Amino acid sequence: MTRGKFITLEGGEGVGKTTNLNFIKDYLQQHAISVVVTREPGGTVLAEKIRHLLLDKDSEAISEHAELLMIFAARAQHIKHVIEPALAKGVWVLCDRFTDATYAYQGGGRNMRVSTIEWLENLVQGNLRPDLTVLLDAPVEIGIARAKERGAFDRFESEKISFFEQVRRAYLLQAELHPERIKLIKANQSLADVQKALIDVIGTYLR
């Protein structure tokens, strides 16, 4: 059986990931591809509980190392119980954020050592890496303004603008380091233009 493909969608706050994740799912299904849609942190019962703890801004202060380890603990569950079983069955996996987000938020935003993240990435993931990553990028001010329209902020969304500037820079660095895998799309253009660019990327990948 042909192994499924692993596609991830990345980006900072308010770049339109949810809308475009559904668009990609529909596009793949129109091309007769069986696809599982999931998210990080999350995707399993335990991983979703960890997600709740990570996003709760009213809980006790979470140390940077605890945050990083919780994210990879959730990821380990997600890979074992959702991602790998689907890929092994030939199903494509479409994931809202994956390890690039860790390099961006914990590496960039929290200024944690990249070598520490790399070590955990290799420990938890083995050889598993996304086949394709779509990075939606927009100026931080635009993204935060859009995010505010969604309602109350969670623990990450409540960070300062400087945090998100560092997140964005780390994401763009990831795109520079992995140009074959990470495809950058400007998210501050119209939704129609964003989705046209998505079709170009996904369509080329399908061919």
**Tell me: the pLDDT tens digits for 157-180?**
666 788 899 999 999 999 999 999
Q: Is the predicted pLDDT of residue 40 greater than 70, yes or no? A: yes
User: How much is the pLDDT for 160?
Assistant: 76
CA–CA gap between residue 181 and residue 198 (Å, rounded):
14
- 107 domain residue, yes or no: yes
For the entire predicted model, the pTM comes to 0.93
- 47 domain residue, yes or no: yes
Give the Å distances, CA to CA, from 33 to 86, 148, 156: 13, 35, 34
CATH for 134: 3.40.50.300
CA–CA gap between residue 180 and residue 133 (Å, rounded):
9
User: How much is the pLDDT for 202?
Assistant: 94
- 89 domain residue, yes or no: yes
- 40 domain residue, yes or no: yes
Q: How many structural domains does the chain have? A: 1
User: How much is the pLDDT for 5?
Assistant: 96
- 1 domain residue, yes or no: no
**What range defines the domain where residue 33 resides?**
6-206
- 143 domain residue, yes or no: yes
Q: Please give the sequence-ordered ranges of beta strands (E in DSSP) within 82-153, or none if there are none.
A: 92-96, 132-137
- Rounded to an integer, the average pLDDT of 99-126 is 97
Query: pLDDT of 5-25, one tens digit each?
Result: 999 999 988 788 889 999 999
- 98 domain residue, yes or no: yes
| Contacts for 16 with CB less than 8 Å, ≥ 6 apart | 136, 146, 187, 191, 194
- 101 domain residue, yes or no: yes
Full DSSP string of 47-85:
HHHHHHHHH-TTSPPPPHHHHHHHHHHHHHHHIIIIIHH
CA–CA gap between residue 23 and residue 47 (Å, rounded):
25
3-state secondary structure of 35: strand
> In the structure encoding, which two tokens stand for residue 197, read together?
């660019």
